[in-house]
A and B are shown apart, each in its own frame.
Chain A
Amino acid sequence: MRPERVIRNRRVEIDDWRMLGVGDGDVGPELPAGAVAVPLAVWLARREELLARRDPVGVWLKPDDDPAALAPDLARLPLVAVHFPKFTDGRGYSIASLLRRRYGYAGELRAFGDVGRDQLFYLSRVGFDAFRLADHRDPEAALASFGDFSQRYQASVDEPLPLFRRRAASAEAARG
Chain B
Amino acid sequence: MYRYDSYDRALVAERVAQFRDQTRRFLAGELTEDEFRPLRLQNGLYIQRHAPMYRISVPYGLLSSRQLRKLAEITRRYDRGYGHFTTRHNLQINWPRLEDVPDILEELATVEMHSIQTSGNDVRNITTDHLAGVAPDEIVDPRPYAEIVRQWSCFHPEFAYLPRKFKIAFNAAAEDRTVLKLHDIGLELVRNAEGELGFRVHVGGGMGRTPTLAEVVREFLPWREVLTYCESILRVYNRYGRRDNVWKARIKILVKSLGIEEFRRRVEEDWAALRDPASVVTDEELARVAAHFAPPAYEPPSEEDQAFAFAAASDPAFARWVGRNVHAHKRPGYAAVTLSLKRTGVPPGDITSDEMALVADLADRYGFGEVRVSHEQNLVLPDVRERDLHELWQRARAARLATPSVGLIGNIVSCPGGDLCSLANAKTLPIADAIHRRFEDLDYQHDIGELDLNISGCMNSCGHHHVGHIGILGVDKNGSEWYQVTIGGRQGRDSALGHVIGPSFAAAEMPDVVERLIETYLAERLEGERFVDTVDRLGVAPFKERVYGNGRELARAA
Q: Are B151 and A97 in contact (CB under 8 A)?
A: no
Cβ-based interface call for A167 (8 A): yes
Q: Are A162 and B278 in contact (CB under 8 A)?
A: yes
Q: Are B239 and A148 in contact (CB under 8 A)?
A: no
Q: Are A89 and B243 in contact (CB under 8 A)?
A: yes
Q: Are B278 and A88 in contact (CB under 8 A)?
A: no
Q: Are A122 and B18 in contact (CB under 8 A)?
A: no
Q: Report which of A93, A148, A150, A154 forms a contact with B152, defined as CB distance below 8 A.
A: A154
Q: Contacts of A161 on B, CB cut-off 8 Å? A: 278
> Binding site of B, secondary structure by majority: helix, strand, loop or mixed?
helix
Per the bound structure, the CA–CA distance linking A102 and B276 in Å amounts to 11
Q: Report which of B14, B35, B157, B288 forms a contact with A116, defined as CB distance below 8 A.
A: B35
Q: Which of A123, A153, A155 has the most CB of B within 10 A?
A: A153
Task: Take A150-B14, A151-B11, A163-B7 as given contacts and tell me if A91 and B157 are in contact as well, using a CB distance cutoff of 8 Å.
Answer: no
Task: Take A118-B39, A152-B155 as given contacts and tell me if A167 and B7 are in contact as well, using a CB distance cutoff of 8 Å.
Answer: yes
Q: Are A153 and B154 in contact (CB under 8 A)?
A: yes
Instruction: Kindly report which residue of chain A lies nearest to residue B35, judged by CB atoms.
Output: A116
Q: Contacts of B22 on A, CB cut-off 8 Å? A: 118
Instruction: Kindly report which residue of chain A lies nearest to residue B286, judged by CB atoms.
Output: A164
Q: Are A93 and B278 in contact (CB under 8 A)?
A: no
Q: Contacts of A97 on B, CB cut-off 8 Å? A: 158, 235, 274
Instruction: Kindly report which residue of chain B lies nearest to residue A160, judged by CB atoms.
Output: B278
Per the bound structure, the CA–CA distance linking A131 and B121 in Å amounts to 23
Q: Are A150 and B10 in contact (CB under 8 A)?
A: yes
Instruction: Kindly report which residue of chain A lies nearest to residue B17, judged by CB atoms.
Output: A148
Q: Report which of B7, B39, B161, B285 forms a contact with A151, defined as CB distance below 8 A.
A: B7
Task: Take A97-B158, A121-B157, A151-B11 as given contacts and tell me if A168 and B279 are in contact as well, using a CB distance cutoff of 8 Å.
Answer: no
Per the bound structure, the CA–CA distance linking A95 and B158 in Å amounts to 9
Q: Are A90 and B282 in contact (CB under 8 A)?
A: no
Instruction: Kindly report which residue of chain A lies nearest to residue B7, judged by CB atoms.
Output: A151
Instruction: Kindly report which residue of chain B lies nearest to residue A172, judged by CB atoms.
Output: B284
Instruction: Kindly report which residue of chain B lies nearest to residue A148, judged by CB atoms.
Output: B18
Within 8 A of B (CB), among A141-176: 148-156, 160-165, 167-168
Q: Are B235 and A151 in contact (CB under 8 A)?
A: no
Per the bound structure, the CA–CA distance linking A98 and B159 in Å amounts to 14
Cβ-based interface call for A101 (8 A): yes
Q: Contacts of B157 on A, CB cut-off 8 Å? A: 93, 121-123, 125-126, 152, 154, 156
Cβ-based interface call for B313 (8 A): no
Task: Take A148-B18, A165-B282 as given contacts and tell me if A101 and B152 are in contact as well, using a CB distance cutoff of 8 Å.
Answer: no
Cβ-based interface call for B162 (8 A): yes
Q: Are A91 and B239 in contact (CB under 8 A)?
A: yes
Q: How close is B39's CB to chain A, nearest CB, in angstroms?
A: 6
Instruction: Kindly report which residue of chain A lies nearest to residue B148, judged by CB atoms.
Output: A164
Q: How close is A72's CB to chain B, nearest CB, in angstroms?
A: 16
Q: Report which of B155, B161, B273 forms a contact with A89, defined as CB distance below 8 A.
A: B161
Q: Contacts of B15 on A, CB cut-off 8 Å? A: 149
Q: How close is A96's CB to chain B, nearest CB, in angstroms?
A: 8
Cβ-based interface call for A17 (8 A): no
Task: Take A118-B22, A149-B14, A162-B152 as given contacts and tell me if A90 and B278 are in contact as well, using a CB distance cutoff of 8 Å.
Answer: no
Q: Contacts of B274 on A, CB cut-off 8 Å? A: 97-98, 101-102
For chain A, which range describes its interface: under 10, 10 to 19, 20 to 34, or 35 or more residues? 35 or more
Q: How close is A33's CB to chain B, nearest CB, in angstroms?
A: 36
Q: Mark B154-180, 1 if CB is under 8 A from A, else 0.
A: 111111111100000000000000000
Q: Contacts of B31 on A, CB cut-off 8 Å? A: 118
Task: Take A116-B35, A148-B18, A165-B278 as given contacts and tell me if A90 and B152 are in contact as well, using a CB distance cutoff of 8 Å.
Answer: no
Per the bound structure, the CA–CA distance linking A24 and B360 in Å amounts to 61
Count how many chain B residues have C-beta atoms less than 8 Å from C-beta atoms of the other chain.
41
Q: Contacts of A160 on B, CB cut-off 8 Å? A: 278
Task: Take A151-B11, A163-B7 as given contacts and tell me if A88 and B238 are in contact as well, using a CB distance cutoff of 8 Å.
Answer: no
Cβ-based interface call for B222 (8 A): no
Q: How close is B45's CB to chain A, nearest CB, in angstroms?
A: 15
Cβ-based interface call for A94 (8 A): yes
Instruction: Kindly report which residue of chain B lies nearest to residue A166, judged by CB atoms.
Output: B7
Q: Contacts of B152 on A, CB cut-off 8 Å? A: 153-154, 162
Task: Take A94-B235, A116-B35, A149-B11 as given contacts and tell me if A155 and B278 are in contact as well, using a CB distance cutoff of 8 Å.
Answer: yes
Per the bound structure, the CA–CA distance linking A152 and B158 in Å amounts to 13
Q: Contacts of A87 on B, CB cut-off 8 Å? A: 35, 38, 161
Cβ-based interface call for B408 (8 A): no
Q: How close is A49's CB to chain B, nearest CB, in angstroms?
A: 30
Per the bound structure, the CA–CA distance linking A32 and B310 in Å amounts to 92
Per the bound structure, the CA–CA distance linking A24 and B100 in Å amounts to 44
Cβ-based interface call for B420 (8 A): no
Q: Are A94 and B238 in contact (CB under 8 A)?
A: yes
Task: Take A148-B18, A150-B10 as given contacts and tell me if A164 and B285 are in contact as well, using a CB distance cutoff of 8 Å.
Answer: yes
Per the bound structure, the CA–CA distance linking A93 and B238 in Å amounts to 9
Q: Are A168 and B284 in contact (CB under 8 A)?
A: yes
Q: Are A90 and B11 in contact (CB under 8 A)?
A: no
Per the bound structure, the CA–CA distance linking A162 and B38 in Å amounts to 26
Per the bound structure, the CA–CA distance linking A67 and B148 in Å amounts to 31
Instruction: Kindly report which residue of chain A lies nearest to residue B121, judged by CB atoms.
Output: A88
Q: How close is A171's CB to chain B, nearest CB, in angstroms?
A: 9
Q: Contacts of B281 on A, CB cut-off 8 Å? A: 164
Q: How close is A59's CB to chain B, nearest CB, in angstroms?
A: 18
A-B contact pairs, 27 of them (CB 8 A): A87-B38, A88-B121, A89-B243, A90-B163, A91-B238, A91-B243, A93-B160, A93-B238, A94-B158, A94-B238, A101-B274, A148-B14, A149-B11, A149-B18, A150-B10, A153-B154, A153-B156, A154-B156, A155-B279, A156-B157, A162-B152, A164-B148, A164-B282, A164-B288, A165-B278, A165-B285, A167-B288
The 3 closest A-B pairs by CB, nearest first: A90-B161, A125-B157, A122-B157
Known: A93-B238, A149-B15, A161-B278. 6 other contacts (CB 8 A): A93-B157, A116-B35, A121-B157, A122-B158, A151-B14, A156-B158
Residue numbers of A with Cβ under 8 A of B are: 87-91, 93-95, 97-98, 101-102, 116, 118, 121-123, 125-126, 148-156, 160-165, 167-168
